[in-house]
Every structure is written in structure tokens, then in C-alpha cells.
Amino acid sequence: MTQDLIYSVTSLALFGCGFYGLLALPHILRKLLAINIMGVSVFMLLLATANHGTSIDPVPHAMVLTGIVVAVAGTALCLKLAVNINAIDQNERDSNHQ
Amino acid sequence: MLELAIDLLLAAGAITLAVLSLAAKKVFTAIVLYVSLGLLVTLIWARLGAWDIAIAEAAIGAGLTGALLLAAWRRLDDNRTAEEGVADGKLKLDGEDSEHV
Amino acid sequence: MFDRLVLHETSGTKPALKSSTKIACGLASFALSGGLIAALLLSERAGPGLAALTASRMDESGVENPVTAVLLNFRSYDTLLEIAVLLIVAVAMLSMQPSATNRSMVEVNHRHSGDPVLAGLLRWLVALATVLSGYLLWTGAYAPGGAFQAGSVIAGACVALKLSGRYHFFWHPLKARLLLTIGLAVFVLVGGFCATGDKRVLEYPLEYAGMLILIIELAATVSIAAILLLLFTGLQDDKPDATQAGRPST
């Protein structure tokens, strides 16, 4: 009962933190961390709502389980794109200088 | 009572770690703090009775995401230092590029 | 341009945001989070959810763990599409890597003189992780565990292998592509095979449900592990020639 409430409020506070990070931090890795923190907060809200004390709703659990794997895949893709753009950008700059 | 205290501690710890991770001076510190947030969140999943997710989070959220982020950080950062070395050596003309920490 | 836009903090240029903008961002996210908390506190508690419904149909699912039942029986479309999403990410990642079709999938660098303690630890760790993942896969039917956990444990062990510098993984050979796709292929095949009778797609026959779920999970474990490892190796490998040292000396 109170447990749900604690973690629901925590998740929303985490969401706010992540949102601020997404808006205000310039570095791409920090932005990705912020997005991941927002993802964690959404998972926490889902699981806190699924927990009814004695009975536990398995459907949100299954959703979160798939969500975690998809989140890590998306993060990896973003990271790869960032790394590639950085490499291309650098090559261009190097050739411009020469 | 004890359970309530544990829940409150975990919740406060999660928010603290998230704030620290976002406010960290170095990106490396931010990543490490994020990984520890993943571990703490694993405990929260266990408290919420989500054992399946706790196992997955311990392996993915705390392990693999950290490895991915660190690998990307190393490549983004590695390129920088290499480039700064070049900039120091012969490209002093371009003031903006050679200016570093 | 890119590094000045998103990586500039390491290069010592001025921050892109003024402090007034930062305060505005802080206020916006504070308002967002406060509004959401207020909405949460003011709204009624969620209903009982689907716990009772799931519990009442558990004997039709073929497994005893409710989460596995939901994942692979009641809402198996979700999981099917999720594995498809993973495969799409893997294809995207593969297309961004330098092609290496002439390499074999796993190459061992015998001349690599790594830390002997690390090598000894890995010898134990990888075996342990394999056993653990088999255990998680098997107990997923009646206790916490399942394909995702098993796959990520194997992927973690392989990441440790990759980090030791002795092993290199290449994902362009046919064998490796087979590993990446087998999860989705088996899932679709089983789902389609179910539809040949009078049942619908992914509606398992009751007496074989447990076995079919285990088959799907086994294939999904392999694919999930392979895809997660591909994501890591794709990010970690520096340049195509940086892994030349990985060629076996034979």
C-alpha cells in the first residue's frame, strides 16, 4: 500500500530528473543516460502499479521485461550512431585541414 | 516499520544516484553512477516482487548497458585525445580546435 | 561540428546553455514531475489489474511462472514483435560495421598474452555463466527466469571474453547470421505451425504448450545473446584493421 506510493512518487521524481538532464545537458552520452533514467522511472511506475500487496499482476512485468531489452538495444544503436557521426566528422575536419 | 525504512532508503538512494549521475563533472563518473543506479534499482525490483525483472536488470541494466556506454565513451573520448595531440603538434593556427582542457 | 555541438565539454569551449535557460529547464522539469505526482496522488488507485484473470487461466498456459506464461503464451505477439525489433537493431548495427565476410565467426588470438589470472577466471566464469543460463532457462517454466535472463547472462559472459582481448567475434559469416535470426525464425515457424489446425496463430495446443514454449525460449535465448553481443562488439571494435591481430596464426 504505502510501498506502491513510495515507489510511484520516486519514479515520477526520477522522471523529472531525467527530463531535466535531457533538456539541459549538452553531451550526447549524458543525454542518453538521462533518457535511460526516464526509462527506469517508467518501469518503476509500471511495477509499482502492478504490485497489489499480496497479488502481483504479471502483465506489466512481462511488458517491463521486454521494455528493458528494447531499451538497451535502442541505447546501443544511438551510441553507435553517435560514434559513427563523430568519426565521419573528424575525418572531414582532418581532410579540411590538410 | 523496518520494511518501510528499507523502502524509503532505496527510494532516496535511487533519486540521489540519478541526480549525482546527471550532475557528475566527468562523463566517466556519470556512467559509473548510472551503473550503480542500475544495481540499486535491481534491489527495488526485488522489493516490488518482480524477481524476473530483477534478474534481467542485474544482467542487462547494470552489466551490459554499462559496458556499452563505456565502450562508446572510450571511442568518443579516445578520438578526442588523439585529435588534441595532433592539434597541439601542428594545427596551432586553428585556435578553437587546439584549445583544450 | 558534431563534437562542438554534443561533445564540447571535453574540449573546453563555452557551455551551450546560459544559466537562465538552465533555470527554465529546471522549472519545466520540476513542474512536469510535480504535476505528475499531483495527478498520481489525486487519482484513484488502479483496479485489481489482470492478476486474477491470469491466475485463473494458468493451467491453460503450459507453464507455472505467470510472467513466462504472459510473455510466451497470453501475450506472445508482444514478445514476437520484440524479438523482431531486436533483429532490426542487429541488422542496423551490422550494416554500420565494416564487412568481414571472409572471417570466421569466432577467432582466437593464440599469441595474445593476456593476464593469466584473467584467463583462469574466465575459464571458470564462462562455464559458470553457461550453466547458470541453462538453469535460468529451465526454471523459467515455474520460477523466475526465462529466455531474456538466460540470453543476457550468456551475452555478459561473452562480453567478458571479448574484453579479455583473446577472442574476436565477427557477425557477417552465414553461421553468425543464423544465430541472430534463429529466435525470430523459430518463433514464427511455431506460431505458424499452430495455425495449421483449427487454432489461430500462436495459439499452442494445450498438451504441447510447455514443450513449444521451451523450444521458442531456447531459440530466443541464442538470438538474444547473439544480438546483445553484436551490439557490444559493434560498439567496441575500433577500426577494421584494429582486429587484424585476431587472425589465427595457422
Q: How high does pLDDT run on average in chain C?
A: 85
C143 with C98, same domain?
A: yes
Residues 70-129 of C with CB under 8 A from B: none
Cβ contacts of C15 on chain A, cutoff 8 Å: 26
Q: Which residue of chain C is at minimal alpha-carbon distance from A48? A: C46
> Of B49, B68, B76, which has the smallest distance from its Cβ to A51's Cβ?
B49
C57 with C24, same domain?
A: no
C14 with C103, same domain?
A: no
* Subunit contact A33:B31, Cβ cutoff 8 A: yes
Phi, psi of C65 (to 5 degrees): -85, 115
Q: What is the pLDDT of residues C240-249, one digit of tens each?
A: 444 444 444 3
Q: Is B15 on the interface with A (CB under 8 A)?
A: yes
Q: How high does pLDDT run on average in chain A?
A: 90
* Subunit contact B37:A2, Cβ cutoff 8 A: no
Q: Is C2 on the interface with B (CB under 8 A)?
A: no
C163 with C227, same domain?
A: yes
> Of C54, C93, C235, which has the smallest distance from its Cβ to A59's Cβ?
C54
Task: Name the CA dihedral angle for B37, B42, B46, B49, rounded to a multiple of 10 degrees.
Answer: 100
Q: Bigger pLDDT: C45 or A67?
A: A67
Q: Bigger pLDDT: C92 or C60?
A: C92
C189 with C77, same domain?
A: yes
Cell readout for C5 is 555541438
Section C195-220 average pLDDT: 87
- Burial of B92 per CB tally in 10 Å (0-12, 13-18, 19+): exposed
Instruction: Output the DSSP codes for chain A.
Output: -HHHHHHHHHHHHHHHHHHHHHHH--SHHHHHHHHHHHHHHHHHHHHHHHEETTEE-HHHHHHHHHHHHHHHHHHHHHHHHHHHHHHHHHHHHHHHH-
Residue B86 pLDDT:
45
Please determine, for residue C4, whether its predicted confidence score (pLDDT) is greater than 70: no
* Subunit contact B68:A37, Cβ cutoff 8 A: no
* Subunit contact C8:A26, Cβ cutoff 8 A: yes
| Contact predicate C70/A58, CB 8 Å | yes
> Cell 511495477 belongs to which residue?
A47
Cβ contacts of A20 on chain B, cutoff 8 Å: 22
- Domain span at A65: 2-97
* Distances, alpha carbon B92 to alpha carbons A52, A89, B96, C13, C64, in Å: 65, 19, 9, 16, 68
Which of C1, C70, C85 is most worth mutating to test chain A (most A CB atoms within 10 A of its CB)?
A: C70
Name which of A14-23, A78-87, C41-50 the model is least confident about.
Answer: C41-50
* Subunit contact C235:B77, Cβ cutoff 8 A: no
Residue B63 pLDDT:
87
C61 with C92, same domain?
A: yes
Residue A52 pLDDT:
77
Cell readout for B64 is 551490459
> Of C11, C65, C232, which has the smallest distance from its Cβ to B71's Cβ?
C232
Cell readout for A58 is 504479471
Q: How many domains, chain C?
A: 2
* Distances, alpha carbon A6 to alpha carbons A1, B16, B48, in Å: 9, 15, 11
* Distances, alpha carbon C36 to alpha carbons C23, C39, C159, in Å: 20, 5, 39
Q: Is A76 on the interface with B (CB under 8 A)?
A: yes
* Subunit contact C7:B76, Cβ cutoff 8 A: yes
- Domain span at B84: 2-98
Residue B21 pLDDT:
95
Distance from CA of B65 to the nearest CA of C (A): 9
DSSP state of C98: P
Residue C203 pLDDT:
84
Residue C158 pLDDT:
93
How many alpha carbons lie under 13 Å from residue C228 in its C-beta half-sphere?
Answer: 35
Cβ contacts of C148 on chain A, cutoff 8 Å: 65-66, 68-69
Residue C14 pLDDT:
55
Residue B35 pLDDT:
95
- Domain span at C24: 2-42
Please determine, for residue A41, whether its predicted confidence score (pLDDT) is greater than 90: yes
Residue C7 pLDDT:
67
Name which of C57-61, C138-142, C173-177 the model is least confident about.
Answer: C57-61
Please determine, for residue A65, whether its predicted confidence score (pLDDT) is greater than 60: yes
pTM recorded for the entire structure? 0.87
Q: How many domains, chain A?
A: 1
Please determine, for residue C40, whether its predicted confidence score (pLDDT) is greater than 80: yes
Residue C239 pLDDT:
53
Q: Bigger pLDDT: C47 or A59?
A: A59
* ipTM of the shown complex: 0.90
Residue C190 pLDDT:
92
Q: Is A6 on the interface with C (CB under 8 A)?
A: no
Q: Is A53 on the interface with C (CB under 8 A)?
A: no
Residue C189 pLDDT:
93
Cβ contacts of B49 on chain C, cutoff 8 Å: none
Residues 12-31 of A with CB under 8 A from B: 13-14, 17-18, 20-21, 25, 27-30
Per-residue pLDDT of chain B (101 residues), as tens digits, is 898 999 999 999 999 999 999 999 899 999 999 999 999 999 999 999 899 999 999 999 888 999 999 999 988 876 555 544 444 443 333 333 433 43
Residue C193 pLDDT:
87
Residue C229 pLDDT:
94
Please determine, for residue C145, whether its predicted confidence score (pLDDT) is greater than 80: yes
Residue A94 pLDDT:
85
* Subunit contact B67:C159, Cβ cutoff 8 A: yes
Residue B65 pLDDT:
93
Distance from CA of C165 to the nearest CA of B (A): 14
Q: Is B4 on the interface with A (CB under 8 A)?
A: yes
Please determine, for residue A1, whether its predicted confidence score (pLDDT) is greater than 90: no
